Amino acid sequence: MASRRRQRRQDQPRRPRLAHFRADGAPKTRFARREDAERAALQARLEHGTNLGSYLCDMCDGWHLGSRDDDAL
């Protein structure tokens, strides 16, 4: 079975270690699948009006949510 892990392009900068942690220093919630992270982002938008996006973490190979700038994601 082929690996589903997203490959990072060599010219693409790595996300800083801070992308793995919340502002209070605790690790962000890890989602095993992108679909799960996207579902959580949608739920946050509907319940709280928070605009979040998902990204693949270089540290844990899981998916996290982060602030979303529509032009950046």
**Can you give the pTM of this predicted structure?**
0.66
Which candidate, 10, 32, 18, places its Cα nearest to that of 66?
18
Best CA proximity match to 8, nearest among 70, 57, 65:
57
pLDDT digits (tens, 9 = 90+) for 18-38: 678 888 888 899 999 999 999
Which amino acid does the sequence have at 69? D
The pLDDT value given to residue 55? 92
User: Domain extents for the chain?
Assistant: 26-67
Structure tokens at 10: 């060599």
For the residues of 14-34, what is the DSSP string, one character each? Answer: PPPGGGGB-TTSSBPPPBSSH
